[in-house]
Amino acid sequence: MTQPARIVHTADLDPAGLREIRGLLDDAFDGDFSDEDFDHGLGGVHALIRDGRGLAAHGALVMRRVRHRGRWLRTGYVEAVAVRADVRRTGLGGRVMAGLERIVDRAYDLGALSASDEGALLYAARGWQCWPGQVHALSPDGVVRLADEEGGVYVRPALAGPLDPAGELVFDWRDGDIT
């Protein structure tokens, strides 16, 4: 039987562990993973899978707030999912997501993530739903629409139950990419 991903809080990762995660992300995203992107994946839990060569797969889950239909939902937001190139398409991404989804389903009103075209296939196959409605953010200047993000945001209704696609999602503000 395959082992589940090891779940660890950021506080329990030493500097070498954080550097190892950052290295995997830099390699997986061909150097297009910014310091802000990395920061977005800190402060929550990490799903880690190791093999004989080191860190093989990673994903993070951090808490965010998303407003929907006038209610702020405690949201488990998936960040920094990556699998080392030599072990892609072997089920490791699914194992990482299974570990994170268990937490989303039991501890959050909603799960959310922003998917690349390649990643979207994994998330859709696992039951994540592409959000069909509008996406906004609560910015320092008020609520702003993020039309460029629409079609790339995926949700996993957890404790909140079904969402109304006619209602918008309003994400809390953060530096860098908002979703």
User: In the prediction, which pLDDT does 132 show?
Assistant: 96
- The answer to whether residue 72 scores a pLDDT higher than 60 is yes
15-42 pLDDT, tens digit per residue, is: 999 999 999 999 999 989 999 999 999 9
pLDDT level of residue 123 (50, 70, 90 thresholds): very high
pLDDT level of residue 4 (50, 70, 90 thresholds): confident
pLDDT level of residue 170 (50, 70, 90 thresholds): very high
Percentage of the chain with pLDDT > 90? 87
Mean pLDDT, all residues of the chain = 94
User: In the prediction, which pLDDT does 117 show?
Assistant: 87
User: In the prediction, which pLDDT does 1 show?
Assistant: 55
131-158 pLDDT, tens digit per residue, is: 999 999 999 999 999 999 999 999 998 8
Using a cut of 0.85, tell me whether the model's pTM lies above it: yes
The closest alpha carbon to 20, from 61, 53, 45, belongs to 53
Tokens of 71: 């209610």
User: In the prediction, which pLDDT does 23 show?
Assistant: 97
Half-sphere exposure of 53 (CA within 13 A, CB side): 8
* DSSP result, 80-139: EEEE-GGGTTSSHHHHHHHHHHHHHHHH-SEEEEE--HHHHHHHHHTT-EE--S-EEEEE
Is CATH 3.40.50.300 correct for 6-171?
Answer: no
Number of C-beta neighbours around residue 9 at 10 A: 10
